Amino acid sequence: MLKKAINIITVLLLITALNIHVCALEQEALSAASAVLYFPQENKILFEKNAYDRRSMASTTKIMTSLIALEQASPFIRTVITDEMVRVEGTSSGLRAGDEISLDDLVYCMLLESGNDAANAVALTLAPSYEDFAVMMNTRAAEIGMKDTCFVTPSGLDDENHYTTAYDMALLTAEALKNDFFVSICSEKKYTVDFHSSDKTVTLYNHNRLLDSYDGCIGVKTGFTKKSGRCLVSAAERNGTVLVAVTLNAGDDWNDHTKMLDYGFSLIAEKEIDCDFSSFSVPVTGGVSESVLIHGAERKVFVSDTEKEITRRICLEKFLYAPVKKGSIIGYAEYIAEGRVIEKIPLTAASDVEKTQHKNIFDRLGCLSDSW
């Protein structure tokens, strides 16, 4: 009987060990020289391999060029293509001098067909020179927190001083994915550009195979030069969770990204958070009620560790002046895990509180005479 029990325990231990082996992702399993898997919702790295090594990044550079273009006050402005814009080596999106095209269509040319001509066109439309546009790129990079990145070219063509890290590219991509227009473009598999100056059209095809092969893939950008090797930035969304994967100089990038994203989603769990605010209220001055109850929308969060403790912090106004309108924001609830705010819910007034109607001076005098 004891021997049988020992055998069962041994089998269970072997199964457990096997499951750990299956779930784990070793650096050696990837072909990339540098890689990172990033969970933007928690600002957390789920996997990394030389994530902070500086390397050239080829056409994944166009993520930044595209973001700057789409953040303009009017991304639909038109530009006329010049000889200088199309005088560039590498991938072309078929632009010719004299073509009139909108800024957003140039982004399609960059993110789908990886057109170096389109990147040049964006740069010289928004800045007097490529050097001035590089300043714009590096300024935006600093705002995002990309500390080990230097942009020189808008397209990603090789330059000794043009470099980034896998981690920085993940930060850039997470920022770009906040822009709905960017997401809609980089997730397109095919797009036809109409030129405003003629009947010319160009059909673009997205080079990102993961859009077809990986469930939930929403982009983002491929890249290649002899110096950089194969570079790839991808993003996938499942059940409201977005993961960003980056590889630099990878021999087998498609499989690298599949492995990383599969690994990441295996770690993510949906967790309910405490959204009961019925015991909280805020005092009201000068109202028909002395206080007002608060309301907060029910939410769930996605965390990378099902055992992780999530704490709640309630921040409310000390008091309110009447009138108070139902639905007006009077505070917020923060949900914190490992020292980071992973969710923030606005708290609102659950009902109206009207202002107290003070009696006029004659009513007050009448009250006084009655008391005499």
* Structure confidence by residue, pLDDT tens digits, 323-371: 999 999 999 999 988 787 888 999 999 999 999 986 555 554 444 444 4
Minimum mean pLDDT range among 42-46, 107-111, 178-182, 248-252:
42-46
Which comes out higher in pLDDT, residue 70 or 8? 70
To the nearest whole number, what is the mean pLDDT of the chain?
89
pLDDT of residue 358: 62
62 is catalytic: yes
Whole-number Å distance between alpha carbons of 24 and 302:
20
Whole-number Å distance between alpha carbons of 114 and 96:
16
pLDDT above 70: percentage of residues in the chain: 89
93 is catalytic: no
Kindly report the CATH number assigned to the domain that includes residue 362: 2.60.410.10
Same domain, 263 and 277: no
Whole-number Å distance between alpha carbons of 305 and 326:
37
pLDDT of residue 176: 98
The alpha carbon of 307 is separated from its chain's Cα centroid by a whole number of angstroms, namely 25
Same domain, 100 and 46: yes
pTM: 0.76
Same domain, 244 and 298: no
Same domain, 105 and 223: yes
Q: Which of 27, 47, 30 is nearest to 265 (CA)?
A: 47
How big is the CA angle at 143 (ends 138 and 146), to the nearest 5 degrees? 65
Same domain, 93 and 79: yes
Strand-pair partners of 41:
none
Question: Among residues 220, 252, 267, which one ends one of the domains?
Answer: 267
pLDDT of residue 305: 65
- Residue 260 included in any domain: yes
Same domain, 277 and 241: no
- Asked whether residue 4 carries a pLDDT value surpassing 70, the answer given is no
pLDDT of residue 14: 33
pLDDT band, very low/low/confident/very high, at 246 (cuts 50, 70, 90):
very high
- Residue 350 included in any domain: yes
The active-site residue, picked from 34, 66, 102, 114, is: 114
What does the pLDDT look like over 270-296, one tens digit per residue?
778 889 999 999 999 999 999 999 999
Same domain, 253 and 290: no
Same domain, 175 and 316: no
The active-site residue, picked from 59, 93, 155, 234, is: 59
pLDDT band, very low/low/confident/very high, at 1 (cuts 50, 70, 90):
very low
Same domain, 106 and 179: yes
Stretch 5-14: mean pLDDT, rounded? 36
- Residue 12 included in any domain: no
Q: Is 130 exposed, middle or buried (0-12, 13-18, 19+ CB in 10 A)?
A: middle
Same domain, 338 and 356: yes
- Residue 18 included in any domain: no
Kindly report the CATH number assigned to the domain that includes residue 178: 3.40.710.10
- Residue 131 included in any domain: yes
Question: Among residues 267, 285, 319, which one ends one of the domains?
Answer: 267
pLDDT of residue 308: 66
Total structural domains in the chain? 2
Range of the domain at 173: 31-267
- Residue 144 included in any domain: yes
Q: Which of 31, 47, 51 is nearest to 39 (CA)?
A: 47
Same domain, 210 and 345: no
Question: Among residues 227, 248, 267, which one ends one of the domains?
Answer: 267
For residue 201, give the H/E element and its range.
Answer: strand 201-205
pLDDT of residue 342: 80
Q: For the stretch 192-219, what's the b/e string if a residue is b when 16 or more beta carbons lie within 10 angstroms of its beta carbon?
A: ebebeeeeeebebebbbebbeebeebbb
Q: Provide the residue type at 83 as one letter.
A: D
Same domain, 287 and 196: no
